[in-house]
Amino acid sequence: MRLRHKPWAKQFIEEHPEYVMTSSSKTKTSWKELFGNDNPIYVEVGTGKGKFLDNMSQEYPNINFIGIEKSESVLVMGLQRLLKDHKSNVRFINGDVLDLLDFFQPGEVDRLFINFTDPWPKKRHEKRRLTYKSFLSLYEQIMSDNAEIHMKTDNQGLFEYSLESMSRYGMTLKNISLDLHNSEKEDNIMTEYEEKFSQKGQRIFRLESYFSS
């Protein structure tokens, strides 16, 4: 996400630990305790400005949403929206997906979204793709039994890679769409990048998967 660097963002984020967890504000308290209820927990990795979670939280008030984003300058925009709307079912983590285990306990996550993540097309960058096997292993550790991963992308190469990577990992794949916006799925909630790409006429790919027990 190309965006002007905001030198004030880090401090602004640190001043709002009630909405954004960081490596310095993280606690051992479970997310259910932090949200104050037993509702399912859905996570988006690489959430950007959190627009998708904002729309989802409105549509599904009985689900708790957490967005993980490493860029302060991007995340701060989601935080500013949250401070205006005071949504009780949305929180952010300012951190790297690599450090997921620092922020979640085993089995804590009921669904994980990977939306329009960076494709890292060069073979030598394969390990950075958020569907590389080491990331799948992290997701598996924090997800509850039969919890699903839902992925959307405009990038055919990343999509094909992810199908293979998940399948090789032993995951079960379902509801695969090679053209989401011309499919029968009616309850799609668009992400910020999805809106941009679909306005340009780009095809959107989508999959659902879960770790087979």
Which one from 54, 85, 102, 118 is the annotated catalytic residue? 118
Distance CA 145, CA 130 (A): 21
Residue type present at position 139: Y
Give yes or no: 118 in active site.
yes
- Identity of the residue, 74 or 142, whose beta carbon is nearer to ligand SAM in the bound complex: 74
Tell whether 195 is in a known binding site.
no
Tell whether 38 is in a known binding site.
no
Tell whether 118 is in a known binding site.
yes
Distance CA 162, CA 167 (A): 8
- Identity of the residue, 31 or 120, whose beta carbon is nearer to ligand SAM in the bound complex: 120
CA dihedral sign of residues 122, 127, 128, 131: positive
- Identity of the residue, 115 or 209, whose beta carbon is nearer to ligand SAM in the bound complex: 115
CA dihedral sign of residues 177, 128, 113, 54: negative
The footprint of ligand SAM (CB under 6 A) covers: 1, 46-48, 52, 68-71, 74, 96-98, 115-118, 191-194
Q: Nearest distance from residue 69's CB to ligand SAM, in Å?
A: 5
Tell whether 154 is in a known binding site.
yes
Q: Where are the alpha helices (DSSP H) in the chain?
A: 9-14, 31-35, 51-59, 72-85, 100-103, 133-142, 156-169, 192-199
User: From the annotation, which residues make up the binding site for S-adenosyl-L-methionine?
Assistant: 44, 69, 96, 118
Q: Binding site: which residues?
A: 44, 69, 96, 118, 122, 154, 191-194
Positions marked catalytic: 118
